[in-house]
């Protein structure tokens, strides 16, 4: 983490952000997820890719999904503008989905957040549901 905080070259910081998501320790991954909502730790424009890096980790995938579901309205309201890509976030967190349980969770997520909305991720939610059905 200290190396990331002290990185002065953007490409180095990017590699370190990715590397930090490789741990198999759930408590560290959860802390890292929380950091994505703190712009003093992870820049807003890097939040999506950081969450997706964590979701690419077998241990981190369910943690990232739960994190996004639990905090969707906050994520959407705080990060709704600018370059925050909700479609990349939703696709990245749900791309491994294949079970009936995950399908049910996706449908419930869509239903429970219909009032909040999904912005650029609206199509991604529907595509994730279709991909999980297949």
- CATH fold of 2-133 reads Zincin-like fold (1.25.50)
CB contact at 8 A, 86 and 117? no
Take residue 127 and report the two structure tokens written for it: 């595509």
Domain assignments of the chain as residue spans, ordered by start: 2-133
Supply the pTM of this predicted model: 0.89
A 10 A CB-CB count for 21 gives: 22
pLDDT in tens, 95-111: 999 999 999 999 999 99
CB contact at 8 A, 94 and 106? yes
Sign of CA dihedral 79, 82, 84, 85: positive
Take residue 12 and report the two structure tokens written for it: 């180095």
State the average pLDDT for the chain: 89
Nearest to 131 by CA among 111, 108, 89, 102: 102
pLDDT in tens, 36-59: 999 999 988 888 899 999 999 999
């Amino acid at each position: 983490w200290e190396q990331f905080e002290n990185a002065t070259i953007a490409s180095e910081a990017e590699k370190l952000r990715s590397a930090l998501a490789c741990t198999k320790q759930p408590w560290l991954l959860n802390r890292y997820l929380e950091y994505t909502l703190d712009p003093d730790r992870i820049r807003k424009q890097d939040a999506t890719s950081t969450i997706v890096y964590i979701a690419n980790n077998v241990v981190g995938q369910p943690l990232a999904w739960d994190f996004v579901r639990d905090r969707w309205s906050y994520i959407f309201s705080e990060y709704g503008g600018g370059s925050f890509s909700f479609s990349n976030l939703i696709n990245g967190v749900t791309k491994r989905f294949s079970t009936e349980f995950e399908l049910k969770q996706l449908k419930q997520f869509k239903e429970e957040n219909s009032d909040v909305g999904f912005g650029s991720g609206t199509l991604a939610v529907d595509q994730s549901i279709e991909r999980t059905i297949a």
